[in-house]
Chains A and B, each alone.
Chain A
Amino acid sequence: MIEQASPAAQTALTRKAFEIDTIPVIYTEMGTGDPIVLLHLPVNPMHVYKKTVPELAKHYRVITLDIRPIVASWYYEGYGTLLRFVTDYLVKALDRLGLTRVPVIASFMGCGVAMTLAIRNPDRVSRLVMISPLGLTTRPKTSAFGLIFGLMNLPGMRSLFHLFMSNMAFQRAVLKFDQRVFGPYRVNEFFYQAPAEGIAHHLSQLYDGLGDPPNPFAFETFINVIQHLRYREIRHLIPTIEQRTLLLFGEEDILIPAKTARRYKATLPNSELHFVPKARVFLHWEAADQVNGLIREFLQRRDK
């Protein structure tokens, strides 16, 4: 449920929405001060940054954008490549929020969008923080994600998916299977140690298309990013990113291993790389204090 925006409410987490060309953009806002934008794809960014936002909001106005409605809208009514479309609308969203130049914190597939923004609109991004990024590589390395990417990219899979998913009984069966079997296996790979909240909690919060109420943009976003979020158009331009960039990886990450992390460091000229011990791709949950400290220190350094 939305809460109405009011200046007094900004110390608390408020959830708001606006539209650009009928495409909704959902965002949360917390804190006051210089703005920071948080991005994530393909799952629920509000959960991904749950331990990041309150800490950063002590010093900044933290805006977490849920760009999944933009991603979900692209296939039917969008234009160009998915990456271009999403980045164009991200710029419009920044305009709408009155953000001229902001630090962008992104994770996972959201990093591809953040890097595209930094490349195409360098005047809009002051700094980049990338947590377990995809961009130099297209997909995570584990067998679970290999299976997802392999299946979803088979010819005709989108049509088949929609044919079956337009049957609600089939949809509920798929959801049940994911909740009980494949989902826990997949989400387990995000963590080095079993999370205290339980895997089921993270599964339901991250993949909120399974929730009650279900997020209506979750499935379409998932198909679109897996089939169409390709980074070929920006990969050769990544070395041109001039913004100072903080790269954060989990030392035990099996989705984006250390070798890939070092490639980012070598490719991005103004970057610094940190490995967080005893953490995987969800390092901003597993080692929240350390990650938040690194981000805060990196952002404050700019002010000197």
Chain B
Amino acid sequence: MHREVIEIDLVPVLYYVEGEGEPVIAFHLPTSPHHCFARNVSELAKSFKVYVVDLRPPVVLKTWRMRNMRLIDYLEEVVLKFMDALGIKKTRLIGAHKAGALAMYMAARHPDRISKLVLYSTLGLTRAPSSAPAFRFIFFFMKWPGVAFMGRVKMIRQFVKWADLRGVGQWRVGQFFGPGEPHDHATLTRHLELIYTTFLSPPDIWAYEVMIFTINYLKYDVVDPFIPQITQKTLLVFGDDEYAIPQAHQQEYRRLIKQSEVLTIKNTRLYPHYECAEEVNAHTIRFLTGD
């Protein structure tokens, strides 16, 4: 796997690429796509040329606000221009978490560019990623007026990062994973650093503010009407834990997307493709290679 950067309308878009063959584009928001797909890319790359696109810089740099665009429309434009720049006419698309909503939006609006859709713990019908206390706390806090401004104050940033590394972050990250993934302090700290790459040394410059802006500006209301318009074959992968995407929403996706199948991975939560990578990879490859 190697890492590249491409400019789309003066905004740098980072991406990883691995493998040869038909293209597959994978994206995830709001944290590190590299960690999100860490256990999937190499396996998928045996059959496809996999591009993992990091959409965090386009979110953080906020030219979408200056251009008076909705964030989701801007991200759609970025991905389409990314495809154009790399000469990708049509692709299979994998969207995870918040970026799953973007993937659905794109698939419905651009059936000529997206051939198949895979969604890992997608949001869209579900507004918040989980009913776990950590997420309720984050969403409550992040939607306060002025939080976007506070994120730009260096001392507040430093305090948040300091507190996160001393337990708050581990508590939060622990709620992403089901019982199959170790929950000891060292493992959770490693996950914290790799998911929120702002804790790496040197820190990822895009990682901090992307949370604030996706929570506040990546709206799913505009996605919902498009979900029944998705005509592509779609694989939906979810966990079955109480804090995973609710069962009712999983079935609603299945009902709304005509050519969809749902894969529920036992004892996993928000990262079924990470926690049970082998099983999810096998299903994903079967789905992407089949007619």
Give the B-binding residues of A (Cβ under 8 A). 1-2, 15, 17-19, 21-24, 26, 69, 73, 75-77, 159, 162-163, 166, 168, 171-172, 208, 212-217
Question: Quick one: CB contact mask for B197-209 with A, threshold 8 Å, 1 for yes?
Answer: 1100011111010
Quick one: which of A2, A18, A216 contacts B61, CB cutoff 8 A? Answer: A216
Q: Across the interface, do A168 and B85 meet the contact criterion of CB distance under 8 Å?
A: no
Quick one: which of A15, A18, A171 contacts B66, CB cutoff 8 A? Answer: A171
Q: Across the interface, do A159 and B153 meet the contact criterion of CB distance under 8 Å?
A: yes
- Given the known interface contacts A21-B202, A214-B63, the answer about A166 and B152 at a Cβ–Cβ threshold of 8 Å is yes
- Given the known interface contacts A21-B202, A22-B205, A76-B208, the answer about A168 and B7 at a Cβ–Cβ threshold of 8 Å is no
Shortest B216–chain A CB gap in Å is 11
B68 CB contacts on chain A under 8 angstroms: 168
Determine the distance from Cα of A24 to Cα of B152 in the docked complex, in whole angstroms. 20
Determine the distance from Cα of A249 to Cα of B203 in the docked complex, in whole angstroms. 40
- Given the known interface contacts A77-B203, A166-B149, A168-B65, the answer about A19 and B10 at a Cβ–Cβ threshold of 8 Å is no
Total residue contacts A-B, CB cutoff 8 A = 82
Quick one: which of B10, B11, B14 contacts A22, CB cutoff 8 A? Answer: B14
B66 CB contacts on chain A under 8 angstroms: 168, 171-172, 214
B9 interfacial by beta-carbon distance below 8 Å: yes
Shortest A92–chain B CB gap in Å is 11
Determine the distance from Cα of A263 to Cα of B115 in the docked complex, in whole angstroms. 66
Q: Across the interface, do B203 and A213 meet the contact criterion of CB distance under 8 Å?
A: no
The interface residues of chain B, by DSSP majority, are classed as mixed
Shortest B1–chain A CB gap in Å is 15
Within 92-131 of B, Cβ neighbours of A (below 8 Å) are at none
Determine the distance from Cα of A56 to Cα of B68 in the docked complex, in whole angstroms. 40
Determine the distance from Cα of A24 to Cα of B14 in the docked complex, in whole angstroms. 9
* 10 closest A-B pairs by CB: A216-B61, A24-B12, A213-B9, A2-B7, A21-B202, A162-B152, A19-B5, A22-B204, A77-B203, A77-B205
B9 to chain A: closest residue by CB: A213
Quick one: which of B5, B63, B81, B203 contacts A216, CB cutoff 8 A? Answer: B63
- Given the known interface contacts A1-B9, A19-B14, A22-B14, the answer about A212 and B61 at a Cβ–Cβ threshold of 8 Å is no
Give the A-binding residues of B (Cβ under 8 A). 3, 5-12, 14, 57, 61-63, 65-68, 81, 85, 148-149, 152-154, 157, 197-198, 202-206, 208
Shortest B16–chain A CB gap in Å is 12
Determine the distance from Cα of A149 to Cα of B80 in the docked complex, in whole angstroms. 41
Quick one: which of B85, B148, B197, B206 contacts A166, CB cutoff 8 A? Answer: B148
11 contacts between A and B (CB under 8 A): A2-B6, A15-B7, A17-B5, A22-B205, A24-B57, A69-B12, A159-B152, A166-B149, A166-B152, A168-B68, A171-B66
Q: Across the interface, do A22 and B153 meet the contact criterion of CB distance under 8 Å?
A: no
Among A1, A76, A208, A213, find the residue whose CB has the most chain B CB atoms closer than 10 A.
A76
Quick one: which of B5, B8, B198 contacts A18, CB cutoff 8 A? Answer: B5
Determine the distance from Cα of A162 to Cα of B148 in the docked complex, in whole angstroms. 10
Q: Across the interface, do A214 and B10 meet the contact criterion of CB distance under 8 Å?
A: yes
A1 CB contacts on chain B under 8 angstroms: 7-9, 81, 85
Determine the distance from Cα of A17 to Cα of B157 in the docked complex, in whole angstroms. 28
A213 CB contacts on chain B under 8 angstroms: 9-11, 63, 67
B68 to chain A: closest residue by CB: A168
Determine the distance from Cα of A97 to Cα of B48 in the docked complex, in whole angstroms. 30
B201 to chain A: closest residue by CB: A21
Q: Across the interface, do B206 and A76 meet the contact criterion of CB distance under 8 Å?
A: no
Quick one: which of B10, B149, B197, B205 contacts A73, CB cutoff 8 A? Answer: B205
Shortest B149–chain A CB gap in Å is 5
A18 to chain B: closest residue by CB: B5
Q: Across the interface, do A19 and B63 meet the contact criterion of CB distance under 8 Å?
A: no
Shortest A234–chain B CB gap in Å is 23
Determine the distance from Cα of A291 to Cα of B138 in the docked complex, in whole angstroms. 57
A208 CB contacts on chain B under 8 angstroms: 10
Q: Across the interface, do B5 and A76 meet the contact criterion of CB distance under 8 Å?
A: no
B58 to chain A: closest residue by CB: A216
